[in-house]
Amino acid sequence: MFKIFGKIKDGLKKTKDNMVGKINGILQKFTKIDEDFFLELEEILISADVGVETTEKICEKLKDVVRKEKLTGADKIKEHLKEILVEILEEQGEAEKKEITYPHAILVVGVNGVGKTTTIGKLANLYKNNGKTVLLSAADTFRAAAIDQLEIWAKRVGVTIIKQKEGSDPAAVAYDSINAAKARKVEYVILDTAGRLHNKKNLMDELSKINRVIEKGLPDSFVETLLIVDATTGQNAISQVKEFKKITNVTGLVLTKLDGTAKGGIVLAIKNELKVPIKYVGTGEKIDDISEFDAKDFVNALFE
């Protein structure tokens, strides 16, 4: 856990400097909690991509605490702020947990360029290091490069890959993958998919067909659909989540490149506005630079 916390802490350095550094500044500047304090706090949160709606929610909750506990100085504000952020990130937490049966199928979706294939490789490595068997499914047959990249990751991690040639039916690849996983008693099947969001009809049909194949092959299993989102895109990330929620049942998010942005507050905006659980965060380019998302760890890493 210490190693994971350290990775998140390092990965959040830019956000910490941008957001929490400025919050610390106003906590030292203001000797009393007044409207001017909250105006500056709002400005800091919005500049870190927390979003207007989520910023207002945070400030209203903090104002309630100030009123109820009759806080006059800024010294105790930080702990209350941390509690509010954790509360937002943990909303609906327990209801989101589903029972996993094996083989467990994970459908990975997302636009091109967000780090989809790299994330699949990192997840395969994470599961393998946790003692699980993994099979990769090259169901993005739209780009030859996608198949080749996934094959490189499969070799690097040391897991099986099921593939067909470019232009093949993605659902046929999914069918072969599910059958192979059952025959070989593999625990995790991670399926890559095309990222053609500009042609939503094609992608919707494709994902629906793949889902039907998985559900037919694994009728009693919960199918995870992980949407990969690039944290450096800020508020555009919210638009992507909204679009993908229209075309498929997104059960969780993986936020990549969190180490490359000073606006990691987008994590709060996504969770609060869209109610989609964040399952993993990518915090670097190395194979093990991925961590399961934990709200308390995330907030503590910001304020540590």
- Please report the pLDDT score of residue 1 as a whole number: 39
CA distance 65 to 61: 6
- Please report the pLDDT score of residue 93 as a whole number: 47
CA distance 114 to 228: 7
Q: Higher model confidence: residue 222 or residue 97?
A: 222
**Are 163 and 136 contacting, i.e. CB atoms less than 8 angstroms apart?**
no
Strand partners, 254: 228, 280
Q: Which segment, 206-220, 229-243, 278-292, is predicted with the most confidence on average?
A: 206-220
CA distance 207 to 111: 13
- Please report the pLDDT score of residue 204 as a whole number: 84
- Please report the pLDDT score of residue 95 as a whole number: 41
Over range 96-124, report the average pLDDT: 89
List, as one string, the DSSP characters of 248-278. Answer: S---EEEEE-GGG-S-TTHHHHHHHHH-PPE
Over range 260-282, report the average pLDDT: 83
- Please report the pLDDT score of residue 262 as a whole number: 59
CB atoms within 10 A of CB 69: 10
Q: What predicted TM-score, i.e. pTM, was given to this entire model?
A: 0.88
AA identity, residue 17:
D
